[in-house]
Structure 1
Amino acid sequence: MQALNFPPFSFRLKNSENKTAIFDAIRKKFVVLTPEEWVRQHTVRYLQEVKKIPISYINVEKSIAQNGLTKRYDVVVFQRDGGISVLVECKAPEVKITQAVFDQIARYNLVLRAKYLMVTNGLEHYFCQMDFEAQTYVFLPDLPEFKTL
């Protein structure tokens, strides 16, 4: 797999039926290793190891209902009270981060109301802090560590 713009992390990989799988510590199972999954697994490790977020506060690939449609978010980080502090949208490295990607995460956040957003293709990372009262957001250089979320 392609080198990404994250610190080096070690992963459990296995080959089965001519496909490579990576162990997802959140889902507690091996999942097919696609380019997007490679980015998602790096993002989860980044949240755990760099931002010090306990694994029990992280969730991946769950369905949400939006305007009668079922969508799946990539990664969320929960707050201690059960709310959502961070919503992450992961794309494969070859997918450019465009306005359409930001529109997608913004639509998801209408439902989830996360305080922070992260958009990444593994090579480029964008971080925002939401201001729901002013209906705006501010780009940040990085996400805060867990203790200040």
Structure 2
Amino acid sequence: MEPLNFPSYPFRFKNRENKIYIFDVIRKKFVVLQPEEWVRQHVVHYLWKEKNYPLSHINIEKQLLINNLKKRYDVVIFSPDGEIELLVECKAPKITITQHVFDQIARYNLQLNAKYLMVTNGLENFYCKMDLEGEMYTFLKTIPNYTP
């Protein structure tokens, strides 16, 4: 896998039936290493190691229903009071971050009401603070560190 625009982390890998797997510290199991998963695992480690979010506050790939369609978000971080602090949309490195990707995370956030959004393909990272009442977002240089 190609290097991403994140620090390097000591991931655990295994090879089974000619497929490479990476250990997911949230799901506590090995998952098939696809390009989007490579990005997702970097995001999880970045949020945990660099931004100090506890692993117990991070949730990965859960289903939500939008317009009667089953969708899955990539990463969500909960605040200590159970509110959704951050919603992350991960794309494979070869996927360009476009308005379509921002529209996708905005649709998810209509239901989830996260305070912050992050969109990444591992090479480009975009961070936004939500104004839920004004239905707007402001771009940030980074997301805030965890504060209990």
TM-score normalised per structure 2: 0.98
Match in the other structure for 1:143? 143
- The separation in 2 between residues aligned to 1:98 and 1:132, in whole angstroms, is 22
Match in the other structure for 1:131? 131
Alignment of 1:1-149 (within 5 A): 1-147=1-147
CA-to-aligned-CA distance 1:113-147 (integer Å, 9 cap, x gap): 00000000000000000001222110000000011
- The separation in 2 between residues aligned to 1:79 and 1:110, in whole angstroms, is 18
CA-to-aligned-CA distance 1:23-80 (integer Å, 9 cap, x gap): 0010010000000000000000000000000000000000001111110000000011
CA-to-aligned-CA distance 1:79-136 (integer Å, 9 cap, x gap): 1111100000000000000000000000000010000000000000000000012221
Where 2:102 maps in the other structure, the secondary structure is helix
Aligned residues: 148
Query: Residue 37 of structure 1 aligns to which amino acid in structure 2?
Result: E
- The separation in 2 between residues aligned to 1:99 and 1:134, in whole angstroms, is 19
TM-superposed deviation, 1:19: 0.1
Provide the aligned C-alpha RMSD in A: 0.8
Identity %: 63
Query: Residue 144 of structure 1 aligns to which amino acid in structure 2?
Result: P
- The separation in 1 between residues aligned to 2:27 and 2:50, in whole angstroms, is 20
Query: Residue 74 of structure 1 aligns to which amino acid in structure 2?
Result: D
Query: Residue 83 of structure 1 aligns to which amino acid in structure 2?
Result: E
- The separation in 2 between residues aligned to 1:31 and 1:135, in whole angstroms, is 36
TM-superposed deviation, 1:22: 0.2
- The separation in 1 between residues aligned to 2:26 and 2:68, in whole angstroms, is 27
- The separation in 2 between residues aligned to 1:144 and 1:23, in whole angstroms, is 26
Where 1:144 maps in the other structure, the secondary structure is coil
TM-score normalised per structure 1: 0.98
- Which deviates more, 30-39 or 131-140? 131-140
